[in-house]
Amino acid sequence: MVSVLITGGTGFIGSYVAQEFLQAGHEVIAYDTSTDTHILQQLGVADRVSVRRGDVTDPTDFMDAVCETGATHVVHLAALLTGSAREHPRVAQEVNIGGTNTVFESARILDDQIERVAWASSAAVFAPPENYDGWVTEDDLVYPDTLYGATKEYNEHQARVYAEEYGVSHVGLRPTVAYGPYRETGGSAFLANLIEKPALGEPFSVEYGDQVIDWQYVKDIAQAFRLATLTDDAQLSRRVYNVRGECATIREAAKTVETILPDADLTVSDDGKLPWTQQLDMSPIESDMGYEVAYDLERGFREYINVLREEHGLKTV
């Protein structure tokens, strides 16, 4: 058993990561500016998670939290996402860059306690899709066009320095579009309506029909962070990994919903353009850590739909 401190641990992805570690038999501390545990409660794990209010921009408080809880591993997820970063650029740099520095610096100072930092980079570090031809590898062009992506690119640089200069063991992951029950924020949150509206018998119209999305179910992201946290250094061929789910167009996703819910009232058009449509190659995380997508589109959508239907007193499908 290890003791894992998760920054952003009461948020959407953080709560599922907490559930993943608990199911694997480990101890979890959720470190977050919010002590609202409603997602943890929905997942049935709130009473098994130690929640500590804290801010990663406060190095002293963070190191105190690590020392007082005895955490041996850190999963660093706390960040301002794309829209919030655009609206609050200075705060984004303080949280996304400064907060990540807090985590790495704490790992450097507390090197006899913290064994590994697994942290969230993002597919947003890549350039716009037109710069690539085919599957995008970890070594392809990194040139973000958002402030959020730029903060994640900087973090990849500081992570490398802390590994090479100070011996901090870390693994960064580049997730893409996370979906699943209880997501309420982020640039891709609107896509939830493609699933949630039909699940509750409501009509929905969506654009971007033939554009490809990497649909990554949140439980697969949680699996990836568990593997990134616990895989031995000797097995790693790199320190930053692409990770994805199933690539499919909006139209294909809508058809999957209609397969599960034949009466779904969905309208799909080809209007609009999405900013994030890279298709990531993830051969390294598969070979180094044994990561496998557990939730294809049909399984992920069906579970998501049934969670919603149960909560609203509807028959599951």
Question: What average pLDDT does the segment 190-196 reach?
Answer: 88
**With bands split at pLDDT 50, 70 and 90, how would you rate the model's confidence at 274?**
confident
Question: What's the pTM value of the predicted model, to 2 decimals?
Answer: 0.96
8 A C-beta contact, residue 116 and residue 59: no
Q: Please tell me what DSSP assigns to residue 136.
A: B
CA distances from 139 to 51, 204, 238, 269, 281 (A): 37, 39, 10, 34, 10
**With bands split at pLDDT 50, 70 and 90, how would you rate the model's confidence at 185?**
low
8 A C-beta contact, residue 106 and residue 62: yes
Give the C-alpha separation, 180 to 196, whole Å: 10
Q: Where are the domains of the chain?
A: 3-177+217-242, 178-215+246-275+295-311
Question: What average pLDDT does the segment 128-146 reach?
Answer: 94
Query: In which residue are the tokens 């063991």 written?
Result: 169
The residue type of 26 is H
Q: What percent of the chain has pLDDT over 90?
A: 92
pLDDT digits 0-9 by tens, 21-58: 999 999 999 999 999 999 999 999 999 999 999 999 99
User: CATH says 3-177+217-242 is which class?
Assistant: alpha beta
pLDDT digits 0-9 by tens, 56-102: 999 999 999 999 999 999 999 999 998 899 999 999 999 999 999 99
CATH topology of domain 178-215+246-275+295-311: UDP-galactose 4-epimerase; domain 1 (3.90.25)
Question: What average pLDDT does the segment 111-129 reach?
Answer: 96
Asked if the model's pLDDT at residue 238 lies above 80, the reply is yes
Those residues with Cβ within 8 angstroms of residue 142's Cβ, 6 or more apart along the chain or in another chain: 125, 126, 127, 153, 156
8 A C-beta contact, residue 242 and residue 281: yes
